[in-house]
Structure 1
């Protein structure tokens, strides 16, 4: 069946589902039917706690743009993880679909086209720790080490508040693009069980998930809410053949590997032996709790936390049989082998606090400790040099198949005190003065790999961390802030905040924010903000050190705070500085319709970004200082590779991001045919590099940032994104239909840094459809599809793939660009059953 015919058939099925549902239940009463739609409509009316120190402020009345996602909206997605639940509802929040190396094991997200590190994540208003698994390799998410949202059970979330505005003066470092505040359920009764399963239309990605949430009240003054979730996801593969293992016009000589090792045609999956282009497999078990006890009428003690364990494994590039040959001529893997990188991860966080009111002051004292521990392993691999060196002219060598490459450990301990008081200053409403202080300690540690993983060039695909890579690092910072909110006359709201922070390794900084909103009438209000911000580099950006390899290349990630980095002219990192401006309006042109539009500009100075590939050998421009730095860092490179070099994080760029965000909601009653909640959300975003700093003298003749590094910042986010949604409810039926328009995105790539090719993803429309039926008041069955018509992104530039083919390069395997905003796997189909009690 052709693509057009399949799309027409599926469209007919979805239309029939709507018509059948309307026919069967149009005579039923609608109060229960409209509940889901009414919940969505209430999102703009929701009382928020993010971006303001006021109590009782509704999202629709906020001086700054805040979008609220209720639990019902979060549950109406196919993939049962929090990243996808937010990304499919907030156009300016883009989720990573595919990562390189260990970044494929910890996917991330970013807001307004900036780095994942520019968005602060809070749980119940308290800072969440970041992941230890730094995204190192190039791409739009490079350098990301933000909080891993997949360790927060979706069923534990009451709602999410997304502040799309700079907020460093209110919340501190990282809040340059905005804040994601996840509010956990605090119900002391009832609960739910949800089981779901799905897979991709073209195979792979089988997913099973079960979650349970329950609330109970040990006493009439206490509540406890518990959630547990278990999820499993299998590998996908969306790649092409590997030219090294087949006959091509450029690989037909008698010396070709296929001619010399014809037995590989009998290997499983031949000729698709290189499985690197696809999802990682993972198994995830997570839990959370949220509890409180009312000591008296004004004082409550509370605690909440999460705990999770994950195993994840991703295929790396296939290794050909003759890569490893012993001195006796033995080949340990006559069919070749495909190493896997894996992590066994433990992530947890716990918060305890007490809040109350004394003499008109509301106050909150809390402390939070969070930790992420990643044990990195290499499976189904070999250490080439170890095997050869242990072989003799008459005996084969030895190498383990599985290696422990080392550990990443990240922890954060944060203690905060907040207090607020209303003062009558003779204005329309009292002045709300908020004061606070924070103390935080961050640590980051790399532990070395086992001896076999780091022997000479190390285990294939991922060398173990060397003793020179290992180390434990920490820093402390403390902050004080003040925030004043005033409404001098009824239509005017004003808010000003200032924050002072002192870091043990960066010194001090002061940032500020001003916000204003004027309501001309109940139908129209204008609002705007101006703020300064900062972001201290993560400890991982400062100290991460490892070697990234492929079958033909080896690149060392140099830590900026190292003697080796100074050999190429880099002497550590400094904090980023930012300015953020936004202006917009809130409109209610007629009953039920709410529209907000906010335009923004974010300037980031001394932005921390990963460099392009700086070659020591085998590239377009080879730099002697690069080879010297590699040796000084204590790295041993695989002698079989043809290209060597380094990558490094630097403060080498200034950027400017401009955009606009639109949110429109409108509920429409259909009399006997239920209700439709219409919504339209859109984002336009463009980032430009406004300044590239001159390379240090040691890199004369080269640039720290090649075309790939610049395009990762400027071009890999879709220029615009529009989501049109309709949630129709009637009786026991509901149908949720979303059309998402992704704007164009592009990226420049090169095989060796000499010739560059542009890969473009054209604008695409993705359809999501979900149909639900309430079997009883407590049981609901749901079927649906994300990317209903199985849309794929445009392929990688054909000229680049042709160059890979002509050079018998494994890069030919990659057919679809990893920066695709809607993934590389096509349509995902799923079903769910839920029980409420």
Structure 2
């Protein structure tokens, strides 16, 4: 049966515009609210489209906090990556520093310390599809399958509107933490672009990027704007002492045999032999277009994106004696025994081991087409959007150990299968203002949305999953392969009124029905009252929800290291039911916010917004439930693995499963503060000052019990759904405080940006065995960014700068206290591995030069 709903694209959002009295001054302060009296709204100045159905509203008039980041501001951040741009400009935004396995190939980000899946990404106001590459392994970004911001070039963007408020009643699923609406450039003439090169101080990562943006008219009544971008980013290497090879000083371990020592000393790069910690190497090409044509009574519009990414990331070193076969096929050999053969992919003598890489070939595209017109006095917008992301997965420079032992041969490159995620959305939106004698027209908006999502895993080549599969990443088995889909329909209603001068009210409701778990209704109310031009209060109350992604519900694979093999069971599978897990259900949220806008003097604006977000039935990755090698082992876990069709590596010491599950209630409280001021120095130039800060604290206020299982000692009890590490990733892995202060100085052809970002302390818990947990802490850090620009002509500008000027790094993973065998608290292999939950990255300083042009 078809179900409808009542949503609201509420007049929530915006408060911040951008200080500015000139286009130049807007560059650094485009994120800040300015007095309405100081703004002359035009189509390109101050008008927002996020969080409101009222036509012509500016950021300064909004009832909810919204940061508006202008194009010039985005282009004056050194690293050509939208995740990095936003983390340097928005205090509540944090980018992922490092991802495990294939997640390192598509890094994610999050807003207000919540899951990446809690932030909805829009392009020109239309929902953006998510990546198909699920972040599976534990950490603050686990479960991320949201839109990949790296696939949108900063040079294609006119502005970004960041709504920092719950908005599920406006836009539907995912908008619990907020909304990032990316508005593409719409220039009808001109050309602009840049070429840039940079590198990290001593960890590698050489980067080259170039982009061109072109605008042209389509006849007399239309425009076409196109952007093409390409970037190459090389590997970085942070750390690399392998505890199975060396001690903490980089000397060969004394416990190695003479035969091992002879082999291990020849591993390339000795003693820094393990390259897993660092950025992936990637080649990324993005293309975006934005067009519109005026047909008279209607406007046809279309926009789209295409991306092609080829990337690979190093995994843990496999030592030279990792794979040895005997003279008898099907029998593993022993180092030094007569008739044994060591797997040697390079034909070296002696063999020197190998470093597997996980690789993707990704194609991502999206296209939207729509018609804006007026029907019976209602502004009408009819549109359709289709987006798809496909990742073909490979494991290269590796081997299938069992295949080599059983047959004497093995490929060194494996096709592991693919992920594909797609989303088809239809929207019909209507809005109209009615003059009913209030201070402003009563605005009524309503509409309908239909969305179909599809998620597919394709099986790899048989050699990639023969027995335990290829080293570092086994291919997807036929039992992993599946196609799953869902449909949902929604209707919404939004009413915005201004009963008296200075008072703005907005109420919205949305009903959605999903084919796999039913319906949900959400509401939102917001208000703002301007007591004077100098002072206003605003606040919001809302409910929200997030539907589990299809990837969270159905992803299935085996994740391996040299010592462990852990199966990710699909949450909605029969195998998970063996262990007592239920199908995933939507998360539910309640949001409250209250804030103020203060303009105590000319050119100074201060906004303060406090918020609380409570999320019930939160979806998290369980800790590992072990069948062998853990602090507690459960025979039923192995039964579930067998039922799912997975085969585990018999040589590893730890085996188990993990699964995504509803089971926690969390509460996030915080405060956003933004202040802006412009100093006019006359002939000596001008300085735009900004100070923006975020305090954010998440607490798990309830953790549900897990299924009752019997361990190998015969003890039966409900196992904890989430271990201490999972809870720490929620509560403390993001800094409590982040403050960004910046000054943008211009005089004649010269300009300079100085930005200081202070990250508060953050911490996590790690365990080598799932039983004992150890705290890891990253202290408070101040990160300095600087950029100098000089216009040598009206069209050409030279720039040079540094992100993280003083090469600040997080600490390294500790050894288990009191141990003498170099056991790491996280069970990893790299003795000098960085703390990868670092909010400011693991690679240290990045230094760059750029040439900009605009005609």
Q: Shorter-chain-normalised TM-score: which range?
A: over 0.9
- For the 8 Å contact 2:244–2:829, the answer to whether it is kept is no
Cα deviations by residue, 1:238-285 (Å, 9 ceiling, x for unpaired): 114112123689998887266435133233211111100111110001
How many Å apart are 1:813 and its aligned residue?
Answer: 3.4
Query: Relative to 1, partners in 2 of residues 1:300 and 1:504: Cα closer, same or farther, differing over 3 Å?
Result: same
Query: Relative to 1, partners in 2 of residues 1:100 and 1:41: Cα closer, same or farther, differing over 3 Å?
Result: closer
- For the 8 Å contact 1:33–1:729, the answer to whether it is kept is no
Aligned pair partner of 1:398 in 368, 392, 409? 409
How many Å apart are 1:697 and its aligned residue?
Answer: 1.5
Q: SS where residue 588 of structure 1 aligns?
A: strand
Whether 1:836 and 2:854 are equivalent positions in the alignment is yes
For 2:739, the equivalent position in structure 1 comes to 722
> What CA RMSD, in Å, does the superposition of the two structures yield over aligned residues?
1.8
For 1:13, the equivalent position in structure 2 comes to none
For 1:169, the equivalent position in structure 2 comes to 169
For 1:148, the equivalent position in structure 2 comes to 148
Q: SS where residue 87 of structure 1 aligns?
A: helix
Cα deviations by residue, 1:93-143 (Å, 9 ceiling, x for unpaired): 111111111110000110111000000000000000000000000000000
Q: SS where residue 822 of structure 2 aligns?
A: helix
Aligned pairs (5 A) from 1:616-765:
616-698=627-709, 700=717, 702-765=719-782
Q: SS where residue 497 of structure 1 aligns?
A: strand
For 1:12, the equivalent position in structure 2 comes to none
Cα deviations by residue, 1:410-453 (Å, 9 ceiling, x for unpaired): 00000001010111222111100001100000000000110100
Whether 1:256 and 2:256 are equivalent positions in the alignment is yes
How many Å apart are 1:802 and its aligned residue?
Answer: 5.6
- For the 8 Å contact 1:34–1:730, the answer to whether it is kept is no
Q: In structure 2, what is the Cα distance between the partners aligned to 1:793 and 1:472?
A: 41
Number of residue pairs the alignment of both structures matches: 799
Q: In structure 1, what is the Cα distance between the partners aligned to 2:29 and 2:163?
A: 19
For 1:454, the equivalent position in structure 2 comes to 465
- For the 8 Å contact 2:707–2:719, the answer to whether it is kept is no
For 1:241, the equivalent position in structure 2 comes to 241
Q: SS where residue 697 of structure 1 aligns?
A: strand
Aligned pairs (5 A) from 1:366-515:
366-390=383-407, 397-515=408-526
For 2:611, the equivalent position in structure 1 comes to 600
Aligned pairs (5 A) from 1:96-245:
96-245=96-245
For 2:551, the equivalent position in structure 1 comes to 540
Name the structure where helix makes up a greater proportion of residues. 1
Q: In structure 2, what is the Cα distance between the partners aligned to 1:214 and 1:131?
A: 28
Q: In structure 2, what is the Cα distance between the partners aligned to 1:367 and 1:258?
A: 67
Cα deviations by residue, 1:664-714 (Å, 9 ceiling, x for unpaired): 111110122100000001000000001010111236253121111110111
How many Å apart are 1:84 and its aligned residue?
Answer: 1.1
Q: In structure 1, what is the Cα distance between the partners aligned to 2:353 and 2:727?
A: 36
Structure 2, unmatched stretches of 5+, are 1-19, 35-45, 328-339, 345-350, 711-716
Query: Relative to 1, partners in 2 of residues 1:128 and 1:79: Cα closer, same or farther, differing over 3 Å?
Result: same
How many Å apart are 1:561 and its aligned residue?
Answer: 0.8
Q: SS where residue 348 of structure 1 aligns?
A: strand
For 1:6, the equivalent position in structure 2 comes to none
Q: In structure 2, what is the Cα distance between the partners aligned to 1:258 and 1:186?
A: 68
Cα deviations by residue, 1:752-799 (Å, 9 ceiling, x for unpaired): 123221000111100000000000000000000000011111332344
Aligned pairs (5 A) from 1:789-808:
789-799=806-816, 805-806=822-823
Cα deviations by residue, 1:533-578 (Å, 9 ceiling, x for unpaired): 0111000000000000000001000001111101111021001100
Query: Relative to 1, partners in 2 of residues 1:750 and 1:38: Cα closer, same or farther, differing over 3 Å?
Result: closer
- For the 8 Å contact 2:788–2:801, the answer to whether it is kept is yes
Cα deviations by residue, 1:478-521 (Å, 9 ceiling, x for unpaired): 00000000000011000000000000001001000000001010
For 1:318, the equivalent position in structure 2 comes to 317
Q: In structure 2, what is the Cα distance between the partners aligned to 1:121 and 1:706?
A: 30
Structure 1, unmatched stretches of 5+, are 1-31, 391-396
How many Å apart are 1:202 and its aligned residue?
Answer: 1.2
Q: SS where residue 433 of structure 2 aligns?
A: strand
Stretch of structure 1 that moved more, 625-634 or 596-605: 625-634
Q: In structure 1, what is the Cα distance between the partners aligned to 2:849 and 2:499?
A: 53
Q: In structure 2, what is the Cα distance between the partners aligned to 1:814 and 1:693?
A: 36
- For the 8 Å contact 1:778–1:835, the answer to whether it is kept is yes
For 1:294, the equivalent position in structure 2 comes to 294
- For the 8 Å contact 1:254–1:260, the answer to whether it is kept is no
TM-score, reference length from structure 2: 0.91
- For the 8 Å contact 1:64–1:527, the answer to whether it is kept is yes
Q: SS where residue 204 of structure 2 aligns?
A: coil
- For the 8 Å contact 1:294–1:301, the answer to whether it is kept is yes
Q: In structure 2, what is the Cα distance between the partners aligned to 1:756 and 1:339?
A: 29
Q: SS where residue 244 of structure 2 aligns?
A: helix
- For the 8 Å contact 1:114–1:177, the answer to whether it is kept is yes
- For the 8 Å contact 1:536–1:574, the answer to whether it is kept is yes
Q: SS where residue 209 of structure 1 aligns?
A: strand
Query: Relative to 1, partners in 2 of residues 1:57 and 1:248: Cα closer, same or farther, differing over 3 Å?
Result: closer
For 1:823, the equivalent position in structure 2 comes to 841
Q: In structure 2, what is the Cα distance between the partners aligned to 1:103 and 1:540?
A: 13
Q: In structure 1, what is the Cα distance between the partners aligned to 2:103 and 2:253?
A: 37
